[in-house]
Structure 1
């Protein structure tokens, strides 16, 4: 049982091949593979609005186009401007997500710089 002062932890990052969620349970040092939210997290199990869920799914699907799937070692087909726009939108959804989840949650931003 969780104590009242122990927050839920989520990790926020995008992963190639995962086109439906950027959220993973647990802190990096101790990922929670037995999370009630799944691993990766199933967005419909989290206490978030349909609008945030849809935006997270949209960003995940969009992120998949940043990889050259025909030859992944090649540079990303995205120009710098597209990476910047994606980063701005990911920042915005992360801020809104943290606000919606509230104080009982810690959402760690583990995105790698592009």
Structure 2
């Protein structure tokens, strides 16, 4: 059995991990709290930082007025950091149990 996990950010959700298959939903639910995964503390904190950082991409005073509140440079910095976050997940959780699907640019 493999836990298939979608990796993407949704402003205000507090989550960057989402169940892709039934086995994953049964074990973790649909939104997956990264704090419950068997990850090192620093990785959990790095993911939390990414979630909080992504929340700043939206103009909360007018959320429907724009796709992103960030400059192109800020968006590129975030995308690079998000890829590093995904790499950490793939390195620290066994690939025979966890499969991560990158949907950050979807």
Normalised by the size of structure 1, how large is the TM-score?
0.81
Q: Which residue of the partner structure matches residue 100 of structure 2?
A: 107
Q: Which moved more, 1:58-67 or 1:104-113?
A: 104-113
1 or 2, which has the higher helix percentage?
2
The equivalent of 2:84 in structure 1 is 92
Alignment check: 8 A CA contact 2:5 2:99 kept: yes
* Equivalent residues of 1:98, 1:107 under 8 A apart: yes
Query: What is the CA distance between 1:38 and its match in structure 2?
Result: 3.2
Give 3-state SS (helix, strand or coil) of 2:6's partner. strand
User: What secondary structure sits across from 1:90 in the alignment?
Assistant: helix
Asked whether the 8 Å contact 2:2–2:23 carries over to 1, the reply is no
The unaligned stretches of length 5 or more in structure 2 are none
- Report if the CA contact (8 A) 1:12-1:111 is conserved: yes
Query: Could you tell me whether the CA contact under 8 Å between 1:9 and 1:107 is conserved in 2?
Result: yes
Is the partner of 2:99 in helix, strand or coil? strand
When the two chains are superposed, the root-mean-square deviation of aligned CA atoms in Å is 1.8
Aligned CA distance change for structure 1 residues 31 and 7 (closer, same or farther; 3 Å): closer
Gaps of 5+ in 1: 1-5
For these two proteins, the number of residue pairs brought into alignment is 104
The equivalent of 1:3 in structure 2 is none
